[in-house]
Amino acid sequence: MYKRWKAGLIRVVTLHDRLLAGMHGEIIMRKFPCLQVETKCIPDQYEGIYSQETKKIAIPKIIELAKSFQDIDVLIVSCADDPAVSELKEQLDIPIVGAGSSVAALASRYGKNAGVLGITDAAPPPYEQVFGENLINLGRPEGVNSTLDLMTDEGKEAVIRLAMKLKDKGADSIALACTGMSTIHAAELLSDKTGLPVIDPVTAEGLMAYYEYIKIL
Amino acid sequence: MYKRWKAGLIRVVTLHDRLLAGMHGEIIMRKFPCLQVETKCIPDQYEGIYSQETKKIAIPKIIELAKSFQDIDVLIVSCADDPAVSELKEQLDIPIVGAGSSVAALASRYGKNAGVLGITDAAPPPYEQVFGENLINLGRPEGVNSTLDLMTDEGKEAVIRLAMKLKDKGADSIALACTGMSTIHAAELLSDKTGLPVIDPVTAEGLMAYYEYIKIL
């Protein structure tokens, strides 16, 4: 139908397994067939971003990587923290999409109280920006310190328990705040368990990249 | 590829011209080919919604019309005020999408200060809900009282002047607040004039209906 758009996608973790690295891109291309996604991982950061310090280290790497893509129409920074997104908006003249601001935007449609559910105690900045003091943040799931912990049965149970608590506190939606939640299909699982809309970060960033495409059609 | 989704779309104005009535649906089907849109207009309201009173009169009509669609997967209320949207979310078990909450959600991705640009002095509730006191509202364009006024050269000039003022006041984006803005292609025009992201209501509601579709793929 229309010309496909080329999207560059940055993983903020070093992954040598191409299948694993390409997983976000695969989800996006399945849901948005007009986007052609090319993935690159930041170098030398095997544990990704999990603190202010690791975010600070990642930002110049993300900027350098962003500039290394050839002929892309849109750039996706596939991380709920939106690292380097504001810097890249200043420096590149293509649309820049961060996972965090995409999730927060989508969650806003379901009501003023969103529950944030990630793997850090602090909510990522875009969630704070959109929801302010109406954001419901109960910290990270018990025993979950990294995306690897999400893969275990104990990790998944802790995520479900936290989602139920966010619902009890009055959340209108659950805004997932780690792209690792996409890998474990948390949105589907938590939506079934809680009955609330649950926003998946990779779907959200894909939708916003698609928006940048169709808005000019 | 995938099965098409059937969307019901409600125009909150009585239009006997089927081409005119179907214009929002046509825009949506062009941008989101997997959505099949069926349009219905509320009866006996030739001037649409332009005040609290006309909104109140429209709400029961919208609810009745919403229930009259057969086998739809998603319902779009094509009005920036989101009339009857909260009521319909309680009463129907399909996703309900309002133009206003869709625009506000999309605008939130561009920064905390959105400029609202519609044809009323007060901002529609969803814009207030998402942006709170960071919403920049300078009232309606000079001399514009209805969507018909948007069609004139004077009306378009007034819209451009107001957009430039919103930019001067620090707007990160312009959140259009009347679906009549879609008909005059205001997003394209104002984006060219201001250099800001400008959110088109019909595109926004289409995107959110599409989201409800692809989130479960």
pLDDT of residue B132: 95
Distance from CA of A20 to the nearest CA of B (A): 20
Residues B79, B101 contacting (CB under 8 angstroms): no
pLDDT of residue B116: 98
Flag whether pLDDT at A181 surpasses 60. yes
Q: What angle do CA B138, B165, B151 make, to 5 degrees?
A: 80
Neighboring chain A residues of B106 at a CB cutoff of 8 Å: 105, 211
Q: What is the pLDDT of residues B148-204, one digit of tens each?
A: 888 899 999 999 999 999 999 999 999 999 999 998 999 999 999 999 999 999 999
Distance from CA of B127 to the nearest CA of A (A): 10
CATH number of B101-200: 3.40.50.1860
Q: What is the pLDDT of residues B61-93, one digit of tens each?
A: 999 999 999 999 999 999 999 999 999 999 999
CB contact set of A73 (below 8 Å; sequence gap of 6+): A5, A6, A7, A94, A95, A212, A213
Q: How far apart are CA B211 and CA B199, in angstroms?
A: 17
DSSP character for A4?
P
Q: How far apart are CA B165 and CA B143, in angstroms?
A: 16
Taken in order A100, A101, A104, A105, the sign of the CA dihedral is negative
Neighboring chain B residues of A203 at a CB cutoff of 8 Å: 211, 214-215
Nearest to B207 among A31, A132, A211 (CB): A211
Q: How far apart are CA B160 and CA B144, in angstroms?
A: 12
Q: What angle do CA B60, B62, B65 make, to 5 degrees?
A: 110
The total of other beta-carbon atoms located within 10 Å of residue B69's CB is: 17
CB contact under 8 A, B109 and A102: yes
Nearest to A31 among B104, B112, B214 (CB): B214
Q: What is the pLDDT of residues B129-149, one digit of tens each?
A: 999 999 999 999 999 988 888
Q: Which residues pair with B137 in a beta bridge?
A: B116
User: Which one has a higher pLDDT value, A147 or B53?
Assistant: B53
Residues A115, A166 contacting (CB under 8 angstroms): yes
Fold of A5-99+203-214: Rossmann fold (3.40.50)
- Say what percent of chain B tops pLDDT 70: 99
- Segments making up each domain of chain B, as ranges: 5-99+203-214, 101-200
Residues B135, B123 contacting (CB under 8 angstroms): yes
Residues A135, A127 contacting (CB under 8 angstroms): yes
Q: What is the pLDDT of residues A48-95, one digit of tens each?
A: 998 889 999 999 999 999 999 999 999 999 999 999 999 999 999 999
- Amino acid at the residue A10: I
Q: Please, which pLDDT band fits residue A1 given cuts at 50, 70 and 90?
A: low
Residues B173, B117 contacting (CB under 8 angstroms): no
Residues B112, B131 contacting (CB under 8 angstroms): yes
Q: How far is CA A29 from CA A43, B5, B136, in A?
A: 24, 19, 37
* CB contact A113 to B (< 8 Å): no
pLDDT of residue B1: 52
Q: How far apart are CA B205 and CA A156, in angstroms?
A: 34
CB contact under 8 A, A214 and B31: yes
Residues A204, A102 contacting (CB under 8 angstroms): yes
Q: What is the pLDDT of residues A13-59, one digit of tens each?
A: 999 999 999 999 999 999 999 999 999 999 999 989 988 899 999 99
**Residue A202 corresponds to which tokens in the numbers above?**
């990779």
Q: How far is CA B177 from the centre of its chain?
A: 6
Q: What is the pLDDT of residues A193-207, one digit of tens each?
A: 999 999 999 999 999
* CB contact A30 to B (< 8 Å): yes
Probe site for chain B from A4, A93, A94, A109 (most B CB atoms < 10 A): A109
* CB contact B211 to A (< 8 Å): yes
pLDDT of residue A2: 63
**SS3 call for A9:** strand
CB contact under 8 A, B217 and A31: yes
Size of interface A-B (CB pairs under 8 A): 61
Neighboring chain B residues of A102 at a CB cutoff of 8 Å: 109
Neighboring chain B residues of A90 at a CB cutoff of 8 Å: none
CB contact under 8 A, B109 and A132: no
Residues B77, B98 contacting (CB under 8 angstroms): yes
pLDDT of residue A130: 96
Residues B202, B179 contacting (CB under 8 angstroms): yes
Q: How far apart are CA A168 and CA A147, in angstroms?
A: 25
pLDDT of residue B50: 84
Nearest to B129 among A31, A112, A207 (CB): A112
Q: Please, which pLDDT band fits residue B51 given cuts at 50, 70 and 90?
A: confident
* CB contact B5 to A (< 8 Å): no
pLDDT of residue B27: 96
Instruction: Label residues B135-165 b or e (16+ Cβ within 10 Å = b).
Output: bbbbebbeebeebebbeeeebbebbbebbee
Supply the pTM of this predicted model.
0.95
User: Which one has a higher pLDDT value, B47 or B194?
Assistant: B194
Q: How far apart are CA A34 and CA A216, in angstroms?
A: 14
CB contact under 8 A, A108 and B109: no
Please indicate whether the domains covering A5-99+203-214 and A101-200 agree at the CATH topology level.
Answer: yes
**SS3 call for B137:** strand
Q: Please, which pLDDT band fits residue A3 given cuts at 50, 70 and 90?
A: confident
Range with the lowest mean pLDDT among A87-91, A147-151, B6-10, B133-137? A147-151
Residues B63, B85 contacting (CB under 8 angstroms): no
Q: How far apart are CA B186 and CA B200, in angstroms?
A: 8
Is B71 buried (19+), middle (13-18) or exposed (0-12) by CB count in 10 A?
exposed
CB contact under 8 A, A217 and B31: yes
CB contact set of A93 (below 8 Å; sequence gap of 6+): none
In the block, tokens 């299948």 appear at: A19
CB contact set of A91 (below 8 Å; sequence gap of 6+): A63, A66, A67
* CB contact B109 to A (< 8 Å): yes
Among candidates A76, A57, A67, which has minimal Cα distance to A14? A57
